[in-house]
Every structure is written in structure tokens, then in C-alpha cells.
Structure 1
Amino acid sequence: MKRHLYRTIAGLAIACCVTAYSHAPAQAGEVEVLHFWASSSEAGAVARLKATLRAQGHTWKDFAVADGGGGLAVVLLGSRVKSGNPPTAAQIKGVAIQEWARTGKLSSIDGVARAEKWDDILPPIVSDIMKYNGQYVAVPLNVHRVNWLWVNAAVLRKANAKVPTTWSEFFEVAEAMRRIGVIPVAYSGRSWLDMGTFESVALGVGGPDFYRKAFLELDPAVLGGPEMEKTLETYKRIKQYTDGGASGRDWIVATDMLNRGAAGMMIMGDWAKAEMVGAGKRPDVDVLCVPTPGSGGAYSFDIDSFVMFHVNEQNRQAQSDLARAVMSKDFQQAFNLTKGSIPVRLDVKMDQFDECARRSRQDFRNGAKRGLLLPSLAHGMAQPAHTVAAMWEVILQFWNQDRMTAREAANRLVKAVKAETPTSHAR
């Protein structure tokens, strides 16, 4: 029934969205969009965007690359742009937006942004990411919270344990789950997932100021300091509560383990929530949601966004309509109900969203006011991809090599970052 209700609500939301944009444009064009959403929930979210544009008379052309935004998507996009045939838009986010903007290949959508008053409905830390030289070149679709801890409620009850709020409590709960024969932590051992767990541990162990200095400023004294050692030790301790199949495991498989009760806890962003709902699980009832231990009101975020490339005159209106549609209240609601994330607009009502999403929105609002919104390192929001990759290599080595100490790993982090940013440690 919950699953049916969820689909009904999402369907009604997109119906309203399509109706709101059902007028035919003065000049129909083609919208070709590069994206790398491949899961069932992600495909559903993309379908809502397609419906919105088609309702306006435009033709949608999919340019889907199912590699999680990795190397293949980058290579294909670069080839298309170099040949003078870029897509209308591409799923690019974070620091990469600025990198692409510096090439001069992106189209300004500042006219749409000013007309729709985006500066009034987006937190400055978000709007700044979407701009280059003061003009919008990208449009945000959503906000994912990275520092979530998910707990299977039935497993927690069986283990006679309580939801952990500190790392000490986390490991106590993990022990209790192991005693009843359940894998304590569903772990996904892929680069961005490893780093997502690591940054969530860092936020909980060291706090927001530590996170900023280490991951945004790349301060060598902090990267190699005692708080980083403690972070690394806490992160490595999680390994003993995972299973042998964690290496290389996809996040969808890990989420299924949690849903079935084969595992008791999972550290993962809220994109996993859509898979939970798809499996008939009720967020914050069957699967509980809390910030990762120690992270409290801090909010590590990942924002999906589209950058806009220079296109011919015929398709400029379609491109503007795409930007306008993505930021509309109706689409923001419909898309995020399906995706598991929350609207990036601060004025979208949350009454149709589940309790986890409403809690996320409240923390997002509070974080915006208190300066506790922190761009995710793992998802390219804080640093360029090459810097993140260099750091991940160290984290992976530390995870896999029992003889490597936290002190040695911290020193290697400093060296890895220095090699990537030889002139300055500032972002």
C-alpha cells in the first residue's frame, strides 16, 4: 500500500508539473541531455524531466552513460564538445562546473535565472556553485544529503539496541547486531562510496571546522594532524563490521541487504531512500534515518545539476525551457519525490515528502542559516576530480593494508594533495 501510495503521489505531482508547462513554445527544438542515472528510481526521475519538456513541444534525445559519472562520460562529452557538436545540457556538478566554464563552451542562462529570481530561492552557497563570473551557467535539480546513517528497525529491535548518535554507540550497536548473526554494516566499496563514508566519519569525528580546513582548504597541517589520524582510525574500524563481498559492491546491492535485514546499518546518501521505497520499505519506520554519528546539524551535500552548452539558435529556446522547467516548483517536487532527494528551492512545500526528507529539509535550512552546509568531497562538490582521486587512493590503501598506520596514511594524504596542488593548498 505504501508503495502504491508513493507512486500515486509522485504521479499526481508530475501530472501537475506537465499541466503547468503544457503550452506549446513559440519555437520547438531538440533537447539532448547527457546523464548517468541508471537505477530504477533514477530512470523514473529522468522520465519526469522528459515528460515536462515533451509537454512543451520539444524533442528529448537521451545521451545516457551508465557509468556513475566516471571516465566514460567525461571522455564522450569531451569528444562531442571538441568536435563542435555538444549536447544541449550535461549532468556536471560541483567544481567541474567552473572547470567547464573556463573553456568558454558553456552558455549563460542568467536571463532565465534573473527572470525566475533564482538568487532569492537558493542559498548563496548553492547559487555560487552554479555561477561563473557572476552568471548562471548551470541549473540545480536537487539536494542529496551525504551524511545519513540508515538503520533497519527490525534488526535494531532484535539486537535490543538503540539508534547510535556517537561513534562509540555505533560500534556498540554493530557488536550487538553481529551477536544476533546479522552483518552490521552494508558497505559499498567503490571510489565515491568509500569517500562518502570517509567524509561522513571525518565530519562526525572532527566537526565542520575540521571538515572545511581539511577538505575545502586542503590545509596540510589539518590533513596530517591528530584529528585526521582519529578519523582514519574510526573509518578503518568500520571494516571489521562489513562482509567479504563489500569490495566493489554497488550501492543498490548494499541497500537491498539493508532492506532485507541481511545487514543492520548503512552509511549512504539519500539516493538510497528511493530504492528503499521501491522495495516497499517506509522511511523512518522500517528503515530509520539519522545523521551519521557526531555530525548533528552539519549537512554534507551533493547537488545534481545540468550545465548548458552553446547551441544553435533553433535550440536556444528549448535550452531555456529546460532550465526553467528544472527549477519550477512542480518539477522540483515531482523529481525529488522520485529521486529520494529534496528540492533545492527553499520555497517548495514538503507535505507530500516522507519524514526523512522533511528532516533533511529542516537541517538544510538550518545549515544554510548557520553556515553548516558543506560541499561533499566524495561527489566533486569540494575539489576537482583529480584531487579527490589522489586522496581516495590513499584511503583505499589504508582500508586494504592492515600494516599501514593512521599516522602513515595521514602523511600520505598530505603528499597526495600537495602533488595535485603544488602552488597552493587553497581550493
Structure 2
Amino acid sequence: MLKFSKLAAAAAFVAVAAAAMAGEVEVLHYWTSGGEAKSVDELKTMMAGRGYTWKDFAVTGGGGENAMGMLKKRVLAGNPPAAALIKGPTIQEWANLNVLTNLDTMAQFGKWDESLPKVIAEQMKYQGHYVAVPVNVHRVNWLWANSAVLKKAGVTALPKTYEEFFAAADKLRAAGFIPLAHGGQDWQDFTVFESVALGVGGTAFYNKALVRLDEAALAGSEMRKTLEVFRRLKPYTDDKSAGRDWNQATALVTAGKAGFQLMGDWAKGEFLAANQEPGKDFTCTPAPGTAHAYSFNVDSFAMFQLKNGDARKAQGYLAFLLMGQNFQERFNLRKGSIPARLNMNLDKFDECARLSGQDFAAMSKTGALVPSVAHGMAVPPAVQSALRAAVSDFWNNDKTTVNETLARLALAAGAPVK
């Protein structure tokens, strides 16, 4: 009876919320690039269609770090937004502060446990209770390429190994193109680094070194090789990359100035926004050496405790909307990602998304799904920040040695350095 009454209450709430013509929902996010902004517009439109006022709390730059700084100020001031784009272990940290709201009633009504892969559902919960809603799954270990640029440079096949990549990059440089588009920010440096680690050492090494932070793996031969390959990539970038945002780096590829970019599939949104077609104008392939691995980044919205009743109604409807099949399809068609929900039809999606969906489903069974460290899915923020700083210094300072970086990685992870 208790379960039935909760579900009935949730159903009644959704019906009332859908008919309501009042209530403001303030959402903090950092989706400000062209493709991302169009994705947010889908959500704004659907909320407005039910009479709710959308208050945009967009914070640019920093790969989300700037947004988290603003969020902390708002929460400490006792004035949190209704929802904030938060993911991975950071969700648990906010929940531990007792500032997030319990979404179990809505989750039971929507059958979220049945609709989500367990690995994602668990990240949305704190002590077994839902406090956040996932909207998508991004594959991070992608290599993007401008088809026309590769053809002009005489590159006839997408590289499957890093040696093949370097051979292709040499041809691109000889033809006058930037071989590898890159933005000089620490999170972008680490995005490339973790794809190299996954390609060089495989999923077992990746999990041991970068997720479990094992001392031997952090200082071992596979990490040494990872750093060596990573450093070889730097000369193939251009000298104007420092401080460049990721979407500006993608723009070099879409404009035909660069051949490749190592970036998550949010980059595809930029190609689509430029009216380019996958398989024709651009191509997507797993980063070298990672065809049988999948590093994931899940965007999710944590819901904060609110005092205003109308704001809570708007927040509840937002949670209901975010998990709906209609929104997840429309949103991800624009965002470049795939739905977080299971068993959704991907016929409307492009070939890159369908490949992502197939690989995600298959690799969830083989254990080849790994959380992205660069994008906050694997380790606490303090550890992530220290790891990113060590890798970024190695990338930007040619005088920093491999041995020094191995020691810094171990220190950043909290392991004793011998």
C-alpha cells in the first residue's frame, strides 16, 4: 500500500505539474558552445511548453570547474539553483552535505532502475537513493577527422595504432595542415592522455592506474610508455593552442585547417552545427588502440533542496522530463551523445551514435567500460585536479622528465613515492 500510494502520488504530481502555468526552474550548466547551446534549447522549449519559466545559469570555461565554483557560492549563501550539471563522485560529495533532494518517488514512478544500466544508476544515487538524473552517455575515446583534409594529404585509412597515427600526422603536416587540433587547457590535455593510456595499456591497466590509483601501475612500464607516446603527440599541434577552448579546436577540423582531434563525442555536435555529415564530411573512429574499450562521461543534473513550492513543482517536472524518452532522444540527437536510457531506438541517430550505442551495450557485458578521469567520472575532484596538473605540466614543459611525472602522478594519487 505504501509503494502504491507513493506511485499514485507521483503520477498525480506529474499530472498537476504538467498543467501548471507557474514556477521557475533555474539550471546551472556549462553548455555554451554552438552544439551544446542547441541541446539546452531543446530543454528550454519543452519546459516552456508546460508554462514554466527557465532561468539560465550558464557558466563558461574550465571544463565545468568555473561552474562548480559558482555553485559553491550559491549553496553556501543558502540560494541554490533548482538543478546543476554535476557528475560522478562529485554527486556523492554534494549529497553528503545534505543539500540534494530525494528523487525516489519520481524514480519509482518512472521505473528508473529498469531504464538505466546499473553502472549509471549507481552514480545517480547516494546511499541507495536517487538524487540526480542522467541525460546522456558520452564516449570520450574518439578520434575525429576531416575527410577532405585526409584525402588531400594522402591519408587513405584511419589510424588504428599510434604508429599509424604518427605516419598519418606526418603526411598532414607535409601537406600544410595542422595534424592534431588541440586546446591548451589541463582537462583537454588529460582527455588526450587518458585515451593514450587506454590505447597503450588497455582497460586493465587504465582501471588499475587511473581509477584504483595503484602505485605500481602509476610508476610502471606501461605508464612510462603512455607518457612517451603522449609527448610525441605535442609537436603535431599548432603553437596557438594555449588557452584555446575545445570547440575552437574542433572548429579547426570543421574548417579544414586541421586533420584530427582527440575529443569526446560532444565534438560531433560542432560538426553537426556546421552542417557536416558523418561518414562524408567527417569521420569518427575509436582513438588508436581503443577499438575494444569505451571510456564514458555521463552528464547528469543533481537536484537541490528548494524552499519555494512553485519552484519545487518546476524542479519535479524537470526531473520527469529529463528521464523521458522524448527528451533523451531530442537532446542527444543535438548533443552528439547517446541516451542514458536502455533499449531506446537509435534509428534517427547518425552512424557515430549508433556505433557508440552498440559498443556501449556490448562493452557493458565484457567489462570494457571505464569511467573518464578527465571528466570527473572516476576519482574525487582533488585527486583529479592533481593528476591533471601533473599531466598538463608534462605536456607544456619539455624540461619535465618522464621520471618526474611518474613521481608526481603517484604523489597526486596519494601513493607513497619511493
TM-score (norm 1): 0.90
Q: What are the residue-to-residue correspondences of 1:331-346 with 2, within 5 Å?
A: 331-346=327-342
Would you say 1:122 and 2:131 are equivalent positions?
no
Q: Report the CA distance between 1:68 and its aligned residue.
A: 4.3
Q: Which residue of 2 aligns with 1:84?
A: 78
Q: Which residue of 2 aligns with 1:146?
A: 140
Q: Report the CA distance between 1:70 and its aligned residue.
A: 4.0
Q: Distance in 2 between matches of 1:123 and 1:158?
A: 42
Partner amino acid for 1:342? I
Q: Report the CA distance between 1:197 and its aligned residue.
A: 0.4
Q: Which residue of 2 aligns with 1:168?
A: 163
Would you say 1:204 and 2:164 are equivalent positions?
no
Q: Distance in 2 between matches of 1:158 and 1:66?
A: 36
Q: Report the CA distance between 1:26 and its aligned residue.
A: 5.3
Q: Report the CA distance between 1:347 and its aligned residue.
A: 2.0
Q: Distance in 2 between matches of 1:278 and 1:69?
A: 20
3-state SS of paired residue (2:187): helix
3-state SS of paired residue (1:227): helix
Q: Report the CA distance between 1:391 and its aligned residue.
A: 1.1
Q: Distance in 1 between matches of 2:58 and 2:174?
A: 44
Q: Report the CA distance between 1:152 and its aligned residue.
A: 1.4
3-state SS of paired residue (1:139): strand
Q: Distance in 2 between matches of 1:69 and 1:385?
A: 13
> Which blocks of at least 5 consecutive residues in structure 1 are unaligned?
1-19, 423-427
3-state SS of paired residue (1:306): strand
Partner amino acid for 1:238? L
Would you say 1:234 and 2:238 are equivalent positions?
no
Aligned to 2:310, which of 308, 314, 318? 314
Aligned to 1:278, which of 273, 297, 306? 273
Q: Report the CA distance between 1:69 and its aligned residue.
A: 5.0
3-state SS of paired residue (1:126): helix
Would you say 1:358 and 2:358 are equivalent positions?
no
Partner amino acid for 1:159? A
Contact 2:208–2:217, Cα closer than 8 Å, also in 1: yes
Q: Distance in 1 between matches of 2:310 and 2:137?
A: 31
3-state SS of paired residue (1:108): coil
Would you say 1:397 and 2:393 are equivalent positions?
yes
**Range 182-191 or range 56-65, more displaced:** 56-65
**Range 309-318 or range 374-383, more displaced:** 309-318
3-state SS of paired residue (1:57): coil
Percent identical pairs in the alignment equals 51
**Range 236-245 or range 83-92, more displaced:** 83-92
Q: Distance in 2 between matches of 1:198 and 1:21?
A: 47
Q: What are the residue-to-residue correspondences of 1:82-121 with 2, within 5 Å?
A: 82-121=76-115
Q: Which residue of 2 aligns with 1:75?
A: 69
**Range 227-236 or range 406-415, more displaced:** 406-415
Distance 1:379 1:318, change over 3 A: same
Q: Which residue of 1 aligns with 2:402?
A: 406
Would you say 1:386 and 2:382 are equivalent positions?
yes
Structure 1, residues 327-352: CA drift from partner, whole Å, max 9, x if none?
A: 10010010011111111112221111
Q: Distance in 2 between matches of 1:24 and 1:321?
A: 7
3-state SS of paired residue (1:352): coil
Aligned to 1:325, which of 297, 304, 321? 321
3-state SS of paired residue (1:343): coil
Q: Which residue of 1 aligns with 2:9?
A: none
Q: Which residue of 2 aligns with 1:12?
A: none
Q: Which residue of 2 aligns with 1:17?
A: none
Q: Distance in 1 between matches of 2:403 and 2:389?
A: 16
Would you say 1:45 and 2:71 are equivalent positions?
no
**Range 272-281 or range 93-102, more displaced:** 272-281
3-state SS of paired residue (2:217): helix
Contact 1:21–1:52, Cα closer than 8 Å, also in 2: no
Partner amino acid for 1:255? T
Partner amino acid for 1:292? A
Distance 1:21 1:368, change over 3 A: farther
Aligned to 2:28, which of 15, 27, 34? 34
3-state SS of paired residue (1:288): strand
Structure 1, residues 53-79: CA drift from partner, whole Å, max 9, x if none?
A: 222222222222123454432232122
Would you say 1:57 and 2:51 are equivalent positions?
yes
Q: Distance in 2 between matches of 1:71 and 1:336?
A: 23
Would you say 1:222 and 2:217 are equivalent positions?
yes
Structure 1, residues 182-210: CA drift from partner, whole Å, max 9, x if none?
A: 11111111111111000000000000011
> Which blocks of at least 5 consecutive residues in structure 2 are unaligned?
1-13
Aligned to 1:373, which of 369, 374, 381? 369
Partner amino acid for 1:378? A
Q: Report the CA distance between 1:98 and its aligned residue.
A: 0.5
Structure 1, residues 188-237: CA drift from partner, whole Å, max 9, x if none?
A: 11111111000000000000011111111011110111100000000110
Q: Report the CA distance between 1:27 and its aligned residue.
A: 7.6
Q: Distance in 2 between matches of 1:255 and 1:93?
A: 24
3-state SS of paired residue (2:413): helix
3-state SS of paired residue (2:242): coil
Q: Which residue of 1 aligns with 2:178?
A: 183
Q: Which residue of 2 aligns with 1:157?
A: 151
**Range 158-167 or range 70-79, more displaced:** 70-79
Runs of 4+ residues deviating >6 angstroms: 20-23
Partner amino acid for 2:153? A
Q: Distance in 2 between matches of 1:403 and 1:40?
A: 37
Contact 1:336–1:342, Cα closer than 8 Å, also in 2: yes
